[in-house]
Copies of this chain bind each other. A is one copy, B any other.
Amino acid sequence: MDFARLRRKTGSMKDSGLFTVDVPLEHAAYSVWIGEGLLAHCGPKIKPLHPGGKVAVVSDSNVAPIYGAVVVDSLRDAGFEPTLITVEAGEASKRMEVAGQIADQMIAAGLDRKSLLVALGGGVVGDLAGFVAAIYYRGIPYVQIPTTIVSLVDSSVGGKTGVNAPGGKNLLGAFHHPVLVLADPSTLATLPDREFYEGFGEIIKHACIRDAGMLDVLDPERRNDLSELIARNVAIKAGIVATDEKETKGERALLNFGHTVGHAIEQAGGYGRFLHGEAVAIGLHAALLLSVQKSGLPAADARRVVQIMEAFQLPTRIPADLEIDALMAALGRDKKFESGKIRFVLLERLGCGFLSSNVTVEDIRTVMERLKDVATT
By a beta-carbon cutoff of 8 Å, the part of chain A in contact with chain B is 53, 95-97, 99-100, 103-104, 107-108, 112-115, 134-139, 160, 162, 165-168, 171-175, 333, 335, 337-339
Contact: B97 with A172, CB < 8 Å?
no
A134 to B174 Cα, complex, angstroms: 7
- Can you list 23 A-B contacts with CB-CB less than 8 angstroms, sorted by A residue number? A95-B100, A96-B96, A96-B100, A97-B97, A97-B100, A100-B165, A104-B166, A107-B171, A107-B333, A108-B167, A112-B335, A112-B337, A112-B339, A113-B338, A114-B339, A115-B339, A135-B135, A135-B162, A135-B173, A136-B171, A138-B174, A139-B175, A174-B174
A135 to B160 Cα, complex, angstroms: 11
Contact: A335 with B107, CB < 8 Å?
no
**Residue of B at shortest CB range from A175?**
B138
Q: Is the interface of A mostly helix, strand, loop or mixed?
A: mixed
Contacts of A337 in B (CB 8 A): 112
Contact: B113 with A172, CB < 8 Å?
no
Q: How many copies does the complex hold?
A: 2
Contact: A104 with B165, CB < 8 Å?
yes
A53 to B339 Cα, complex, angstroms: 8
| Shortest Cβ gap from A101 to chain B (Å) | 9
Contact: A335 with B53, CB < 8 Å?
no
**Residue of B at shortest CB range from A160?**
B138
A103 to B96 Cα, complex, angstroms: 10
Q: In the complex, which of the residues A96, A134, A175, A338 has the most CB atoms of chain B within 10 Å of its own CB atom?
A: A96
| Shortest Cβ gap from A29 to chain B (Å) | 18
A168 to B104 Cα, complex, angstroms: 9
Contact: B171 with A137, CB < 8 Å?
yes
| Shortest Cβ gap from A330 to chain B (Å) | 12
Q: A108-B167, A138-B162, A167-B108 are in contact. Are A100 and B335 (CB under 8 A)?
A: no
Contacts of A339 in B (CB 8 A): 53, 112, 114-115
